[in-house]
Structure 1
Amino acid sequence: MAIYTGALSSGVGCGIIVAGLITINLDWRYIYWVAVALIGACRVLIIFAFPETEFSRAANLAEADAALSPKVLGEKPLKEGQDPVSAHSELAPPQATTHGNKTPPKRLIYWQTMRIFTGVHTHETFFKLLIRPIVLLTLTPGIRNGGVRQPEMRLPAMIPCLVTAPLALVLYGVGIGQRLHWMAPTLGLAFLNFAIVQGTNVTLVYSIDAYRLVAGEITVTQHAFKAAFGFLLSFYTNPWITQSGYEVAFGTMASISGGVILCWILIYIFGSRIRRVTWGWGFIKRLAHRHEDRVVGE
């Protein structure tokens, strides 16, 4: 997760700099052609370097148990002073040992990991798997409490964003609008990138912590919502600036961002109760809860 969020955040910060360098000598449309090339290269890497890790864990565990059975291992006299447990571990093949409650990984050759379809590994319907990230949008994200840790305890880390996000937008808007020293909008971009990285990481780990059983789907939901919101905001930014000016437009954005970030206080206080209620809604149970055959190691 740290590598994922780090790469995502680096793309946001470095992308602005690279885009500016491109537009010095080329038309602004080249920014998107460069993006198309990079996305295409990443797509090829995902197809040929990202293995399929889904397989029947129950069947694999049965294979491991069979490999450890006396019939397979055979009988071997104990050495002098040797206990039965160590003798058993010597006979067991390394790939068949288990670690805690984890099932040993299934070993496949490269081309087997590249298969598009490896079978059906759950009783959940395709429709439910498809609709779950959308259904999770209806859930409102869920304090120190008798020593019991709650996901809401992560939310005070949003405090730096409450300062840097509005400050960043004001610095950038006023700096460009009033033609201040170039350091003013530059610092605005720096603070803005910090706020995006900080806010994204805190809210993402909070969402995963609050809804661990659907961690994959909740991650898709959050990033899809963030991308859609960011697209709409950037799509209307230029007309907004043309009509109202940099100072008014970015000043309003600063107020909106501050108000949205302040919502963490309400979630910090009421989030746990909200999570318990919304997770029990009827349509959430039917469309968002995972089937028991997908609940592994929770």
Structure 2
Amino acid sequence: MTLLKPVKQGDALLVDAAGDIQRLPLPSQDPNDPLNFTVWEKTGVMVSCCWFSIMSLSIVGGLGAILTTFFEIYGAEGISNSQVVWLSTFPSLFVGIGNYLVLPLGLVYGRRPAALVSIAVLFAATIGCAVSQNFHQHLGLRILQGLATGATESLLPLMLSEITFVHQRGLIFGVYWATQNVVTSCLNLATSYETAALGWRWFYWVYVIAVGAGLVIVVFGCFETRYQRRAQFLNGQVVVTDQFGVTQVLSGPQAEEYRRELEADDGSTPDEAREKHTYWQMLQPWGTPVKNTWTTVLMAWFHMFEAFTSPGILYATLLASAVLGSSVGVSLTYDTVLQSYGWPARSVGLINLGGVFGGFGGMLYAGVFGIWFILRMAKRSGGVHTPEHRLVLLIFPGILTVASLLLYGFTASGGSTWGGPYMGWTILQVAFVSVLIQSTSFAAEAWEKNPGPALAAVVGTKNIVSFGVSYGLSPMVARYSYPTAMGILAGICGAIFLLGIPVYSFNPAWRRYRQRRESKKAML
């Protein structure tokens, strides 16, 4: 029998003494356990999540290439250009706010009902945008789209984590985030041509069709993944999966606490005695609410905000926010920049080819190479993986982020070649996808007390904080210049990346300090 090596709290044993990868969390013998779903059932969940996320984020982030169209239309209503930009920035803000609303809904009523409600709201809001008659109607419906899209930042990643093992999640999330970038960029390639040929309303009508198809896919393929997974013993340690889908391997006082709870809980139905749900039962659109509904919601919010006491979580949030804000901010300017280089308005959408290359590049680096690197580091450490291993992988994206912003800034004003801003955008997308994958993976591990809320806090808050970055970029460009504005942004991003050095050293000490406190509480 292979024994697990004792690990420090917050670390995880991914590779055992024989060199085999551990399958965590441990699947139960219950046929309805999401980890025991058939291949087609898991595929249905994955396709549903990816389709929903791609279409929703394409809608939220797809206006950059056609903003000049809205400058002309709403300028006649007396709306300033800075206000028109709200059509692109405010939805991103409300994606973050929606995360804090949709996730508790999924925790209380189930993942499937929350997903159905979210995509139905997105479908209705997109129809509303297509038929809107003035700027304020349009803006209000764009905000509603952002709220519904909040599911992509919290609920959908949670569902994916609940049907996969820990060692698979780096690749799965890499595919999830990268396909968002790649397919969204492909869809938005045609945006400017579509608007020039058919009018701006067809930007929305096309997505009405796509989101409608997604609604059908979710109804028939997005199964409930909420599952009350019992703590399980594995060679003297306890494997626990929380309601946010995050798995921990516990030892010491916390393991003893779970051991006592398991011994006391002997009245439930054995897993192997449960019957497999039929397909029609799995299509049930509602779930059984948890007991103490408001307590569950309030505690979820409390644990999310409590996570920011961790230096690692603060760092992951700042980093993801800065890079996302930079990406959104640049997307608000490339329409004007490329037209100043002589690009016709209908061709501006071609810059999204950079997003395609960037998405693949980020997935290969952070997803494929990242998994190899993490497993290699774990083997070198006796099979033990520490969260801080992921910070090493942020060095390369940090260099790319600073370089891409400087390249874009110093070529955006003209006098050079359109290849400068084009390549700046492409390189930034490689960095963006890489940072998104690694920062969220780090967040799920950096705070062992409640890793699920910590992950939800990072992915949701990054949209709120990044709003400030993107919202302030256009006025800064107008007041100073592209080189100055992008130089300031590059400096901010570079400084945040460098904070990873003290976090690499200090966060393990902070985790040990928290563990000592928890151990003392458990002994009282």
Range of TM-score over shorter length: 0.5 to 0.7
Matches within 5 A, 1:239-250: 239-250=475-486
**In the aligned structure 1, how far is the partner of 2:463 from the partner of 2:212?**
19
CA distance in 2, matches of 1:223, 1:18: 24
Matched, 1:50 2:219: no
Retained in 2: the 8 A contact 1:47–1:114?
no
Equivalence for 1:139: 310
Contact 1:204 1:222 in 2 (8 A): yes
Gaps of 5+ in 1: 68-95, 97-104, 286-298
1:15-164 alignment, distance < 5 Å: 15-16=184-185, 18-19=187-188, 21-24=190-193, 26=195, 33=204, 37=208, 42=214, 45-56=217-228, 62-64=269-271, 67=273, 106-120=276-290, 125-141=296-312, 147=382, 148-164=384-400
Deviations 1:137-167 (CA, angstroms, capped at 9, x unpaired):
3322179997454211221111102210010
Deviations 1:195-236 (A, max 9, x none): 111112122212222346644433321111222223222222
Q: Cα deviation per residue 1:80-102 (whole Å; 9 max; x = unaligned)?
A: xxxxxxxxxxxxxxxx7xxxxxx
Secondary structure, in 3 states, of the residue corresponding to 1:26? helix
The match for 2:459 among 219, 223, 227 is 223
Give the letter aligned to residue 23 of structure 1.
Answer: S
User: 1: CA distance between counterparts of 2:202 and 2:513?
Assistant: 46
Name which of structure 1's ranges 108-117 and 243-252 shifts more when overlaid on structure 2.
108-117
SS in 1 for 2:311: coil
Structure 2 SS opposite 1:265: helix
CA change 1:230–1:182 in 2 (3 A) is: same
Q: Which has the larger radius of gyration?
A: 1
Counterparts of 1:31 and 1:228 in 2: how far apart (Å)? 29
Which amino acid in the other structure matches residue 53 of structure 1? T
Name the CA distance, whole Å, in 2 between partners of 1:47 and 1:131. Answer: 32
Inter-CA distance 35–266: structure 2 relative to 1 (3 Å threshold): farther
| Letter in structure 2 aligned against 1:116 | W
Shift of 1:275: 2.7
Amino acid at match of 2:504: Y
* Number of residue-to-residue matches in the alignment: 246
* Separation of aligned partners in 2, 1:3 and 1:31: 33
In structure 2, how many angstroms separate the alpha carbons of the residues matched to 1:107 and 1:167?
A: 53
Does the Cα contact within 8 Å between 1:165 and 1:191 map onto a contact in 2?
A: yes
Structure 1 range deviating more: 239-248 or 107-116: 107-116
Once residues 420 and 436 of structure 2 are traced to their aligned partners in structure 1, the CA distance between those partners, rounded to angstroms, is 24
When normalised by structure 1's length, the TM-score is 0.67
State the superposition RMSD in angstroms. 3.8
Name the structure 1 match of 2:175.
Answer: 6
Structure 2's unaligned 5+ residue stretches are 1-168, 231-265, 314-376
Aligned-pair identity in percent equals 20
1:171 touches 1:185 (CA, 8 Å); kept in 2? yes
Say whether the 8 Å CA contact 1:139–1:279 is kept in structure 2. no
Indicate whether 1:268 and 2:440 are aligned.
no
Partners of 1:195 and 1:31 in 2: CA distance: 32
Question: Hey, what does 1:90 align to over in structure 2?
Answer: none
